[in-house]
Structure 1
Amino acid sequence: MKKWLKSRKGQQTVIIVSFAVIPLFLLVLFTYLPFVQMVEFSFFKMKYLTPPDKRVFVGFKNYIDVLTRDDCFKALKLSIYYCIGALVQLALALFLATILSFKVKGGNIFKGMMFFPYLISGIAIGFIFKFFYTRGFVLDSVLQLFGFDAEQLPYWLKDQKVNNWSLVATSIWRYFGQNMVLFIGAIMSVDNELYEAASLDGANKFQQFFHIILPSIKTIVTLNVILSITGSLSAFEPPYVITGGANGTGTYFVIMNEIAHVTQKVGLASAMAVILLLIIFACTILQKLFFKYIFRSSED
């Protein structure tokens, strides 16, 4: 055995097993075991410091409460705002990525500028936009330069007609560059000969986009949409930092954080997390089936 371990093949086997076992062990320890425990907590009425023998088993009561509480249901509905914003974000990212994938003067500088917000901490972005939207500050000052009356401008973070859209715009600004860079990488991998052949056949730029670019990058499109929609369902940083969830801006994660850490209803918060996971899982499956149907012609 020692001789085999000292051999080249033995050392390769040990390295391969180590690189496979250690990540799996850490994944199980820090992801799957906490998840199983969270599911267990969701069936109990308890606080963080409640001893195991003092926990009250309530069955599916926590799940029923999540589905019947007004604050949870309204918070879940706010995800629609972020889903719409995600689709707008992806459309803009794909449009600009298509342009910047070809030789454009100053294109590299523009790419860097658009990607930079993604590198900034979400908490820092929250504080930036908190002052940006505050009455009489940056946004109001800029709009006044274009002739808008300051008294007629809404309170961007208080008026419930616009405050959620303001927060959605923050998310679009932050994640737009990431989607654009991913799209650019995918588009640049398309064979140039396809464009040349399409041009010879008389295809214009729009036809080339829909019949060459879009089918060729369908995997990245599907991935970006899935990540954006699932991210929209779990939006947390913008409403938590900018508004604290006030004035009807408390998303599902903000309400879950309040229930878990302020009121210390750990069982109810765990049930909320499980329900959100099931919703995200269902949305992911539906999106994959949708794109499989959309791109079915390109697979024939």
Structure 2
Amino acid sequence: MTHAGTHTPARDTGKAGIRAVAPAPGRADPPPALRRARTWRLLTPWLFLLAPLTLLITFTYAPIANMVAYSFTDWDGVSPELHYTGAENYAEIFTREDLFQVFWVSGYYLAASVIQIVAALYFATILSFSIRFRNFFKGVLFFPSLVNGVAIGFVFLYFFQDGGTLDTVLGLFGHHSDRAWLGTPASANVSLAGVSIWRYLGMNFVLFLGAIQSVPGELYEAAELDGAGRWHQFRYVILPGIKPVLTLTVILSVSGSLSAFEIPYIMTGGATGTETFVIQTVKLAFQFNKTGLASAAAVVLLLIILLVTWVQRRLVPDDRVDLV
């Protein structure tokens, strides 16, 4: 006879330490309606991703695969016949000085990207605080990003020509120069890099401004109560808070510097020592009908950009910063 509220001891099976345990009842299968709901729940994200993935594969990964395949051939871009040449195109790129030296031109754009990032960060920091005509200056800085690149190229082509706008402005200050701004490799590349700063400054400015404004306002108030000035607020509050955006901007600037094309192609066509790697690749493909060699050059450029991005991510990891 058992007492109320106690469990009946399990029946002994005759072996020490072993008790008979009744098997757990099997789980019943879910009803068909519930199974269909679970299936649709799993398939719904992929249905939404079907269209963008199809476009991405069709217009990005498939052309890249074709480009890699063409880089091992001597295809001229027109003839239906092509022959496998192995790594001859890559050997030609790295052994011919005239093909690889164009990367030195990218140094001007890399230097310009550093100036551009510093200037954009400076203006974004200043205009994130309450100052007069703040919205006006925001519009002035962002306006070049709205202008078409072809139009910018033609405008600055007249700006830098002999007796053009730049010489006229310098003449107002008493400096009369007979310099051909696009006539020598050094001055031409400096001028083109300056145009790239003017054009892309506004885009980086907007990215930095949005990142700065996303920093919680109470952090600024706490910093002011602690007696922190503008510089200390920038160093200990703003800079750590915008680190992911800053890293992204540096990656985009480096890749853009290595693949500069639009401005130098319109203004000089690659003449006077301003030919970039992309301009050279376009000429190889469409002017000299060496599509195989041009494909190899494009693959080399892609690998260099990926390598630079990987090195940068290793040197400056994108750690999550919690300021609160």
TM-score (ref. length: structure 2): 0.84
- 1:248 aligns with 273
Whether contact under 8 Å (2:102, 2:275) holds in the other structure is yes
- 2:66 aligns with 37
Deviations 1:123-166 (A, max 9, x none): 11111111111110111100111110233xx2111122211010
- 2:292 aligns with 267
Tell me how far 1:96 sits from its aligned partner. Answer: 0.5
Tell me how far 1:184 sits from its aligned partner. Answer: 0.5
After TM superposition, list the pairs within 5 Å mapping 1:59-78 onto structure 2.
59-78=86-105
* SS of 1:209 mapped into structure 2: helix
**Structure 2 portions without partners, runs of 5+:** 1-31
* SS of 1:150 mapped into structure 2: coil
Deviations 1:95-128 (A, max 9, x none): 0100001112111111112111111111111111
* SS of 2:198 mapped into structure 1: helix
Q: 1:214 aligns with which of 233, 239, 256?
A: 239
Tell me how far 1:207 sits from its aligned partner. Answer: 1.4
How many residue pairs get aligned? The number is 290
Q: 1:117 aligns with which of 144, 148, 156?
A: 144
After TM superposition, list the pairs within 5 Å mapping 1:101-250 onto structure 2.
101-151=128-178, 154-250=179-275
- 1:97 aligns with 124
* SS of 2:316 mapped into structure 1: helix
Indicate the structure with greater helix content.
Answer: 1
1: CA distance, partners of 2:260 / 2:66: 24
Change in Cα spacing, 1:9 to 1:179, as seen in structure 2 (3 Å) is: same
Q: Which has the higher contact order (CA 8 A, sep 6+)?
A: 1
Tell me how far 1:57 sits from its aligned partner. Answer: 1.3
* SS of 1:57 mapped into structure 2: coil
1: CA distance, partners of 2:259 / 2:291: 18
The two structures, once aligned, show a CA RMSD in angstroms of 2.2
Task: Verify: 1:88 aligned to 2:115, yes or no.
Answer: yes
Identity of aligned residues (%): 46
Q: Which amino acid aligns with 1:185?
A: G
* SS of 2:228 mapped into structure 1: coil
Tell me how far 1:16 sits from its aligned partner. Answer: 4.1
Whether contact under 8 Å (1:71, 1:255) holds in the other structure is no
